Structure 1
Amino acid sequence: MSNSVVAYRYAKALVDLALEQKVLDEVNTDMKFFEEVCSQNDEFQRVMANPIIRHEKKKVILKNIFENRINPVTYSIFDVLTKKNRESLIYPISVEFQKLYDDLNQIERAVVTTVEPLNDAQRKEFLEIVKKATGKKVELEEKIDVNLIGGYVLKVGDTQIDTSIKKKINELKLELA
């Protein structure tokens, strides 16, 4: 069974448990915190994925970092995974959990990349565009990429709208070649 299927099953079980215990929002916050720790610390991810490091050591690391900072329901999944030597799945589980949480709460995530930071009017316009297209609440992530030269790239799910000057220049190069 692939890791993504296994991660999905654990995430689904965690969502069901969190719903049953009425702590879904807290567990979501915990999983975001875990993703943040992973994204800020590559070494942590490597340790969790390393099969040479004993699971008892990984359990101590998880306990020291998370036990007093997260909900017991969230910590229980860490405990189960260390007992089954599946610590490497914690990050993929947190990603799958976020997808399930978003589906349950009708949230659409969008990423807009521009040359400079959006002003309030632009941000509101992007939020409206995505909300109108999806009918869901929108969480907009903003990124800056000066290489775009101008325009924007908007990603919503599998859809991407690219109005950047960089793309237009590349298209022109292909046309002239």
Structure 2
Amino acid sequence: MSAEDTIVSGVAGRYATALFELAEDAGAIDRIAGELDQLDGMIAESEDLTRLLRSPVFSAEEQERAMGAILEKAGITGVTENFVRLVAKNRRLFALPGMIEGYRVLVARHRGEVSAHVTSAHELSDEEVKDLTAALTSSLGKEVQLDRKVDASLLGGLIVRVGSRMIDTSLRTKLNSLKIAMKEVG
């Protein structure tokens, strides 16, 4: 693997890269991506599961047993199950959400896609999502996958982040800029 292939870094990046290489060899990139998305959803919905991942109070054996039971109940087997069990055994569960995100980045790159993180003040309609996706695809010259989030504190507008680039058209930012400008004047 060359240095330019390393697009995710740190502990989470190394694990995500290793999992991606295993998935590629097994021809199971999409299946594993689906299982990781399922696991990520479970983490997002459960405070107890989040606590299990982050708490140093649980031993590696307890974490591995608990994750094994959760994976079995969710029907997650094979490479993904072995991967999560290894992560637990190595006391790296705290980094699992980052590993999942790193795997998504690698899958998107493999498919020639780009991920755009979009934060809006309200839930975007299907038409707005379609228009935004088309505009970003046209601008970037690559297929774009939107990762959407709602933050009512924006008041209006959008924040779009693609890689290290960010476009902030939120009303909150515009009002803050106006407030700073008014303080400078008066």
TM range (shorter): 0.7 to 0.9
Written as runs of structure 1 = structure 2, the 5 A alignment for 1:1-177 is 5-67=10-72, 69-177=75-183
Contact persistence 1:27–1:71 (CA under 8 A): no
Change over 3 Å in CA distance of 1:63–1:170 after alignment to 2: same
CA RMSD across the alignment: 2.2
Mapped to 1, the partners of 2:157 and 2:84 lie a distance apart of 43
Q: 1:48-87 CA deviation, whole Å, 9 max, x = no partner?
A: 3333322222122111110361130111112222333333
Mapped to 2, the partners of 1:113 and 1:25 lie a distance apart of 26
Normalising by structure 2, we get a TM-score of: 0.81
Mapped to 1, the partners of 2:170 and 2:176 lie a distance apart of 10
Q: After alignment, is 27-36 or 52-61 more displaced? A: 52-61
Mapped to 2, the partners of 1:87 and 1:170 lie a distance apart of 38
Identity of counterpart residues, as a percentage? 27
Contact persistence 2:16–2:103 (CA under 8 A): yes
The runs of 5 or more residues in structure 2 that have no matched partner are: 1-8
Q: Which amino acid aligns with 1:98?
A: R
